[in-house]
Chains A and B, each alone.
Chain A
Amino acid sequence: MASYLPEDVVVKILSRLPPKCLIRFKSVSKRWRALIGNPDFLSKNLLNHSILTQNPSRPLRLILFLATEKYVAGEQIHFFHSFRSYDSLRCASQAPMNFPPLTRHFEIVASCNGLLCLWDQKLDDIYQWNPATSSDLEALPRAPSRCHTRRRVPFYDFSVGFGFDSGSNDFKVVTLVDTGEDGWLEAEIYSLRSGSWRLLDMKVNFEMLSISQTAALDGVFLWYDDFRFGDCVADDRIVAFDFTDEEFRIMQSPDARLFCDYGQYTRTLTELKGSVAMMVFPYDDRKKNYLDIWVMLEFGVSESWTRLLIIQLPLHLERPLMFWKNGELFVENSEGQVVLYDLLAQTEMNLQFGGSRVTSKVVDCNFVQFEEMGSGVIPTLSCSSRLHYATQSNEIE
């Protein structure tokens, strides 16, 4: 005779399963469908619990807040920063974190196991920086495509990605280079271990006409063409590069026809508990301030894009930046300050950090033990990386 397990035990079993599984098991019975529930930030059910607790945070984690100084005419614009504990958001006081003299043109490409990759967009120089050991930026040798002397239109034909190859325990930088032929892009890859560049065999077709939204997570770097501010086109695509396979993959984003009523909108790619997330919100038009949050529950599977929440934000909270521990959100307000917004309680806390408007960045720095490995110091990996970077910068020249 087959044993029947009581419901509280069933809940215990189900509470450990990943979202994809739970979504499938909603078809088991009506009772299970009710127990598992619908994906949305606000309901407490098994599915939301799974989505929001998939990848528990690890110790030794810091967040780096960056902003550029309020612009003063004629002055060189610099970044200023604050390292804070991921857990408490209090300023990290123990190890002094070094900060290099970054200027306006630097973009933080990504942070990966305590190593940051930066890109000087004016000169197309790429740097690595380890805040725990030095305030010096270490320049990478120039990317082969940048060795030509032609002047290029800024941001339109070159982009940089950064991540970790867990297979070979190596940090890699990848570039996308527009060949100028009908949207075909080439890629170059730099390995920190080898200290050299090589051209990848594969080409990918993707229109890179503007500053791409980018995000980094778990050994993958993503680009998203944020060119269309509000066009209702169904074919928005995301390009993902896997640092272990060294392969590109093209995925769809949520169907943009769903956003037709939004007027002028823009999107940010980010990470939520190890999954790719996308936030849709208004661009310039401040009559209404919605935030539409989607998550790709299974990486690479475009059909698995699931809407988690549409919420009205207070008007002064303009730019969502990054998710925090329990699904709270860092948002930049209209004064350029970083605010922590609790999506469930709909309360906010000003973190007293900010600079010029539309320049805040929040970078998740995961520090693990460092060990010498071959030449130079390369952080070792004890578990896969969880990263985020999203920005939207305005030219204020």
Chain B
Amino acid sequence: MANNGENPSPDVGGKTVKLKADDGEIFEVEEAVAMELQTVKSFFDDDGVSYDTVVPLLNVSSTALAKVIQYCRRAVELRAKSGDDEGANEKAREEREGLEAELVREESDEGIKELILAANYLNIKDMLSFLCRAVGDRIKNKSVEYVRRFFVLENDFSPEEEERTRNEVAWAFEGVDAD
């Protein structure tokens, strides 16, 4: 299958791995980058699975997978840069934080959830960690109603119960962003 335009063919010489998103689109990725996805790594750790095998990632959309790959590629590059030098480490850390911020900056709530689900399914620890932190920052000052919509949760309290709780801890409801 043809490569996605956003995912140019890697240089000849490195091993590559083929990943298939939920819509059938195939991404050819350098081995080092593919191994950032623990789910993919486990797939190949099984005996007898050849590197030519296309990895089916049924729960990940192609949009999300493209972003994940882009992030992991940069993350691998940055990790290669850091070493014993504290200055270089510091710079690499800053760059990684910039990369993370870039990833979530333009994302809608739905988009960021899709990324979280992808990072969770693909078992990419660092990515899941910063995405959770980003969502935490997003919802920190939000109302209860906003949070219910974001997480798609039903309000199973009775009106009386809810009223009582809000009065008991009214201070916690101060300073909340308007929806």
Contacts and interface: CB of A to CB of B under 8 A. Distances in A.
Are A and B associated in one complex?
Answer: yes
Interface of A: 2-6, 9-10, 12-14, 16-18, 20-21, 23-32, 298, 301, 303-304
Contact of A303 (B135, B139, B152, B171): B171
Given A3-B113, A5-B113, A21-B140, A27 B166 contact: yes
Nearest to A4: B152
Interface stretch (B17-25, B73-81, B155-163): B155-163
Q: Which of under 10, 10 to 19, 20 to 34, or 35 or more describes the interface residues of B?
A: 35 or more
Interface of B: 110, 113-114, 116-117, 120, 128-129, 132-133, 135-136, 139-141, 144, 147-149, 151-157, 162, 165-166, 169-174, 176
Nearest to B145: A28
A29 B156 contact: yes
Contacts of B133: 16
A32 B139 CA distance: 15
A10 B172 contact: no
Nearest to A21: B140
A304 B172 CA distance: 8
B174 A25 contact: no
24 contacts: A2-B152, A5-B116, A5-B151, A6-B120, A9-B132, A13-B132, A13-B136, A13-B139, A17-B136, A21-B139, A21-B140, A23-B172, A24-B172, A24-B173, A24-B176, A25-B147, A27-B157, A28-B144, A28-B148, A29-B155, A31-B153, A303-B170, A303-B171, A304-B172
B132 A27 contact: no
Contacts of B154: 29
Contacts of A5: 113, 116-117, 151
Contact of A24 (B116, B151, B153, B169): B169
Contact of B171 (A17, A21, A298): A298
A360 B27 CA distance: 67
A9 B174 contact: no
Contact of A301 (B110, B135, B151, B171): B171
A15 to B, nearest CB: 8
B137 to A, nearest CB: 9
Given A10-B151, A12-B128, A24 B144 contact: yes
